[in-house]
Amino acid sequence: AMALVVLFMLMAAMFRSLRDSAFVMATLPMAVLGGVLGLRVLDLAAGQTLDLLSMIGFIMLLGMVINNAILLVAQTRDAQAAGATLDAALHQALDQRLRPILIGALTGVLGALPMAINPGPGAVIYRGLAAVSVGGVALSLVFLVVLIPALLRLADSRRQAATAVDGIDAMPVPQTSP
């Protein structure tokens, strides 16, 4: 928990925005869920339970997922700072960062998959770590590409609605004479 708080504060300082840091952190529950599902599937197939290496796998997983989300949010905010609208910035960020994110995620998943399904006697030690990695990265990748743009659009639409309401409230009311 302390590592997550420190991570959140570092991202808030980097982005200069608590909201953007929260958007990045929103991908973590999906990664943890994917890791738990991966471990559960392995438990059903090979009798794997949560052990020390599986817990280390969860910590590694959170680092991998955070990096992908940071890339997407940072690229979006850079494009917006250059004058692009949010939709154009998201389109540009996905165009420029989706391939590196996919390559990193797929190499992580496909690289750990043999370790998760290898039937050898020495492989039992690392199966949990690999299952957490495979499940977490795979599930979080789907939600990263869908969740981050949706959250950014939702926040922007709320900000625009609040600005519109403030603009209406700030308009002078015409006075009528009796």
pLDDT digits (tens, 9 = 90+) for 25-63: 888 888 899 989 988 888 888 777 778 888 888 888 888
Supply the mean pLDDT for the chain: 84
25, 28, 67, 91, 163 from 62: Cα distances, Å = 9, 6, 9, 25, 35
Q: What's the pTM? A: 0.76
User: Does residue 178 register a pLDDT over 70?
Assistant: no
DSSP of 107-167, one letter per residue? HHHHHHHHHHH--SGGGHHHHHHHHHHHHHHHHHHHHHHHHHHHHHHHHHHHHHHHHHHHH
